[in-house]
Amino acid sequence: MDYSKLSTQEIERLARTIHPGAWAIEPDRPLATLLGSCVAVCLFDPQARVGGLNHFMLPSIRRSSNDDIDSLLSGAYAMESLLNGLLQKGAKKVRLQAKAFGGGTIINTSGPLMSIGSRNADFTKEWLNREGIPLLASDFLGPWSRKVLFVPTTGDAFCRRMVTNMATAEVIAREEKSYAETLVQKPKTSEKKIELF
């Protein structure tokens, strides 16, 4: 389908929704997500015409005494999963390009949650820079929630900043809180420990 002839409303209607903690590569339809303090990264290979989107947040509460490892595990996992999925679909890392969005502050918070949007945005920029993937477009931080639409076959991304009303803020806060709780759950004692080296 030629999405260039469709309005953003039509693209949104056809899109698959990606929830917090998820990622997807879609060959035949657009992807969409709603962001608060989370970040969504669109990665695409313009030559192979393949792309995908993730939606992630770094943990705000430490699961262990080493906060850096926790951040690495959640953020890097989201990015590596999407990257590896694209490579399996024929993308080449040297051709990958990125667009990234999110890290907003939509509810008044204090403590660790207050800076989570900024941490998410900083991590994203650092990871892309370290991997040598150019960030072609971004919209980070601010008091907005964002609706992101991404057409994986073309790399076109649309970001709509939204003045967050109470109902939207509650939905986003509920989804992000539920997702954040999964990031801080301790592994079951029966699971084998993984040693990072």
Tell me the mean pLDDT per 10 residues along the chain, length 197.
Answer: 88 94 92 93 97 86 48 74 96 98 75 73 95 97 92 96 72 71 52 47
Residues acting as catalytic residues: 38
Provide the whole-model pTM. Answer: 0.79
Q: Residue 7 maps to which CATH number? A: 3.30.1330.200
Give the sign of the dihedral formed by CA 52, CA 153, CA 95, CA 32.
negative
Is there a domain that residue 192 lies in?
no
Is there a domain that residue 60 lies in?
yes
* Count of Cβ atoms closer than 10 Å to residue 128 Cβ: 20
pLDDT score at 69: 44
Contact of 155 with 32, CB cutoff 8 Å: no
Domain range for 174 is: 3-184
| CA–CA dist 115, 121 (Å, integer) | 10
110-118 contact pairs (CB < 8 A, 24+): 112/60, 112/61, 113/37, 113/60, 116/37, 116/57, 116/58, 116/60, 117/36, 117/37, 117/141
pLDDT score at 108: 57
| CA–CA dist 104, 74 (Å, integer) | 19
Count: domains in the chain: 1
| CA–CA dist 168, 176 (Å, integer) | 12
Is there a domain that residue 189 lies in?
no
Is there a domain that residue 197 lies in?
no
Is there a domain that residue 119 lies in?
yes
Contact of 16 with 29, CB cutoff 8 Å: yes
Contact of 6 with 74, CB cutoff 8 Å: no
Is there a domain that residue 190 lies in?
no
Q: How many Å from the N-terminal Cα to the C-terminal Cα in the chain?
A: 46
